[in-house]
């Protein structure tokens, strides 16, 4: 008896109102997160699908052209947000989102940092090294220095956070909320004492 490859697992994804609402919202938010509506919707579909999908399935579920889906998949691969696989017995490429939401968050944040923060730091650095010849340049450079220091500090902090485990990141975020409450309480108490003395 010849050894035949196993048939691919059929994807039984159903476009429910719940999934449709999430996918639509993700498309709207995509432009705010650094990618267009189509890319956002393709990603959201892959995120809520239990099984990997091939490009034709994605196009059918979203009513997009195959070429728009291909462009969206390439963009998502460029971001490192999706995995590409093949199923036994099927020559098509299948796509799925990263499984861990913390990894997704880290990938998006790192890519936005590369695309947005790094160029801003470069421009600020160059502006600070330029001669301040014109009236107002010294003030402008001082303001740019303040911005540079803040963006650089946030960038350094982010770099350090990238190396933490998801569990440590979650603990840090929870601790941040507690620290904020503690500082607010301190300000209220010290503010009250300052008024009474």
* Domain count of the fold of the chain: 2
89 shares its domain with 106: no
- Report the CATH number that the domain containing residue 65 is assigned in CATH: 1.10.10.10
Instruction: Look up the domain containing 113 and give its range.
Output: 102-186
- 6 falls within a domain: no
Question: Which two three-digit tokens encode residue 110?
Answer: 């790192």
Are residues 139 and 176 located together in one domain of the fold?
yes
Residues 51 and 113 placed together within one structural domain of the fold: no
Q: End of a domain among 64, 98, 132? A: 98
The three-state secondary structure class of 141 is helix
Q: For the ranges 27-31, 41-45, 173-177, which has the lowest average pLDDT?
A: 173-177
In the predicted structure, residue 164 carries a pLDDT above the cut 50 = yes
CB 95 within 8 A of CB 67: no
Instruction: With CA atoms as reference, report the closest residue to 96 among 46, 54, 29.
Output: 46
pLDDT in tens, 33-92: 778 999 999 999 999 999 999 999 999 999 999 999 999 999 999 989 999 999 888 899
> Do 112 and 46 belong together in one domain?
no
Nearest Cα to Cα of residue 84 among 97, 71, 72:
97
Q: How far apart are CA 106 and CA 103, in angstroms?
A: 5
Considering the domain boundaries, does residue 155 fall inside one?
Answer: yes
With respect to residue 42, please indicate whether it lies within any of the assigned structural domains. Answer: yes
Split at pLDDT 50, 70, 90, the class of 192 is: low
d(CA 108, CA 172): 19
Q: State yes or no: pLDDT of 9 exceeds 80.
A: no
- Ranges of H-type helices in the chain: 17-33, 37-48, 55-62, 66-79, 101-112, 118-129, 137-161, 166-196
In what helix (H) or strand (E) does residue 133 lie, and over which residues does it extend?
Answer: none
Q: Is 80 in the same domain as 147?
A: no
pLDDT given at position 10? 54
Residue ending a domain, choose from 60, 82, 98: 98
Q: Which of 53, 79, 98 is the last residue of a domain?
A: 98
Q: What pTM was computed for the model?
A: 0.70
Asked whether residue 124 falls in the same domain as residue 92, the answer is no
Q: Are residues 121 and 179 in the same domain?
A: yes
Q: Are residues 111 and 53 in the same domain?
A: no
91 is a domain residue: yes
Q: Are residues 151 and 163 in the same domain?
A: yes
């Amino acid at each position: 008896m010849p050894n035949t490859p196993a048939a691919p697992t059929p994807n039984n994804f159903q476009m429910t109102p719940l999934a449709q609402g999430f996918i639509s919202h993700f498309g709207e938010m995509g432009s705010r997160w650094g990618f267009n509506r189509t890319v956002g919707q393709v990603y959201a579909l892959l995120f809520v699908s239990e099984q990997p999908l091939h490009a034709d399935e994605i196009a059918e579920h979203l009513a997009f052209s195959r070429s728009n889906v291909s462009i969206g998949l390439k963009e998502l691969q460029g971001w490192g947000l999706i995995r590409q696989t093949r199923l036994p017995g099927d020559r098509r490429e299948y796509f799925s989102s990263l499984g861990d939401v913390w990894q997704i968050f880290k990938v998006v944040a790192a890519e936005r940092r590369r695309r947005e923060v790094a160029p801003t730091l470069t421009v600020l650095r160059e502006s600070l090294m330029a001669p301040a010849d014109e009236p107002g340049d010294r003030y402008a450079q001082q303001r740019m220095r303040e911005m540079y220091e803040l963006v650089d500090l946030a960038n350094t902090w982010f770099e350090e956070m990238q190396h933490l485990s998801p569990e440590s990141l979650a603990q840090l975020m929870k601790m941040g909320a507690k620290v904020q409450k503690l500082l607010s309480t301190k300000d209220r108490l010290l503010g009250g004492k300052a008024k009474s003395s």
